[in-house]
Structure 1
Amino acid sequence: MRVTVIRAWPGRFDQVEVELQAGATVADARAAAYSPDDPECVGVAVFGERAGPDTPLRDGDRVELLRALQTDPKDARRRRARDGGQR
């Protein structure tokens, strides 16, 4: 089966397609695409839904390696509202 593994940063992303055995998990995909102990990765999602390392994958899944938030979304909204909607 083939899955896509994606890492993203502000303004850019990296995408790798990997071929895995049937019954593969998120941990298998992460190890096949990138270093499994990447310190920037704080979580994983499959098509935007939080997933654990033992989550089974299906052909065509998109595994997203998640980074820590740089800004609290609520604080960012408050700041934009205070500044008149300017980013």
Structure 2
Amino acid sequence: MVKPPIGIEVVYAAVDRQVLLSVDVASGSTVRDALRASGIGQHFPELDLEHCPVGIFGKVLSNAETQVLAAGDRIEIYRPLLADPKEVRRLRAAKAALARIKSDSQ
């Protein structure tokens, strides 16, 4: 007996635009299979769909080649971070501390 296809979503947000695609894939498809079938690469040719970091509903996947999808899953493709969030917070705190010191001395 052939299983019916399942509906999933594939989403990617570039700096200037975002795309959410609803896709039907064969039951038993992996995340990488769904990425290839979605056509998202046509919208963003710069994406390396074979190696880009991905997750399902905000949970990063360690092995997208073997992760089987369930109906209703949303695959999220992640961009590389341009700045380390910890470093950004540290710099912001240092700037705020410097501003407090300047305002206290006046």
* TM-score using structure 2 length: 0.68
Shift >4 Å, 4+ stretches: none
Where structure 1 has 5 or more consecutive residues not aligned to the other structure, the ranges are none
Residue pairs, 1:5-84, within 5 angstroms: 5-10=10-15, 12-33=17-38, 34-35=40-41, 38-39=47-48, 42-51=52-61, 52-84=64-96
Distance change in 2, residues 1:15/1:71 (3 Å): same
Distance 1:69 1:83 in 2: 22
**CA shift for structure 1 position 54:** 1.9
Where structure 2 has 5 or more consecutive residues not aligned to the other structure, the ranges are 1-5, 98-106
Which one is further off, 33-42 or 73-82? 33-42
Identity of aligned residues (%): 33
Distance change in 2, residues 1:72/1:64 (3 Å): same
The Cα RMSD (Å) is 2.5
**CA shift for structure 1 position 32:** 1.6
Distance 1:50 1:78 in 2: 25
3-state SS of paired residue (1:30): helix
> If each structure's strand is expressed as a fraction of its own residues, which one has the higher value?
1
Paired residues, what number? 85
Distance 2:69 2:46 in 1: 20
The structure with the largest alpha-carbon Rg is 2
3-state SS of paired residue (1:28): helix
**CA shift for structure 1 position 39:** 3.5
